[in-house]
Amino acid sequence: MRITGRVEILLNGEMLLNKAGAVARGLGISGEPNFELSAIVGDTGLHGYIENPIMAECEVKITDTDDKMLSDLARIRENGTLIFRSARGGKAYIMDRATCIRNFELTGGEGETTIKFQGPYWTETVESAL
């Protein structure tokens, strides 16, 4: 059994220089749009659930370097493939048709910027070790 600890983020096949703490949100049933369930409760108890749609989302802090343009990331709109995977193989989550949410903020010193991507859903897979 392997625990998802260190992760690698790939965007359109290229590895991002991600820092610790990347987050994949909106996980649900693999390969299907996700819905958060909210209970409907009345005097007689549980009446059922309503579904609230949730986008797949990845928030990742990267190191900005002079060989990558942030504006190239900002151009990704419903045409990106983002992979959030365990380092050295294991579980991976794939977001097709990813969109960069833009609105970057760059921190001097370590050249750090947080980037957010959204897509319709995540597909969960297990990869062999590299």
Burial of 83 (0-12, 13-18, 19+ CB in 10 A): buried
From 3-17, 38-52, 69-83, the region with the lowest mean pLDDT: 3-17
Task: Please count the other Cβ atoms lying within 10 Å of the Cβ belonging to residue 109.
Answer: 5
Residue 62 has pLDDT above 50, yes or no: yes
Euclidean distance between the first and the last CA atom of the chain, given in angstroms as a whole number: 16
Q: What angle do CA 5, 12, 84 make, to 5 degrees?
A: 15
Residue 118 in contact with residue 99, Cβ under 8 Å?
Answer: yes
106-107 and 112-119: which strand pairing? Answer: antiparallel
Q: What is the pLDDT of residues 94-130, one digit of tens each?
A: 999 999 999 998 888 889 999 999 999 999 999 765 4
The CATH T-level fold of domain 7-127 is Elongation Factor Tu (Ef-tu); domain 3 (2.40.30)
Residue 55 has pLDDT above 60, yes or no: yes
Residue 88 has pLDDT above 90, yes or no: no
Percent of the chain with pLDDT over 90: 82
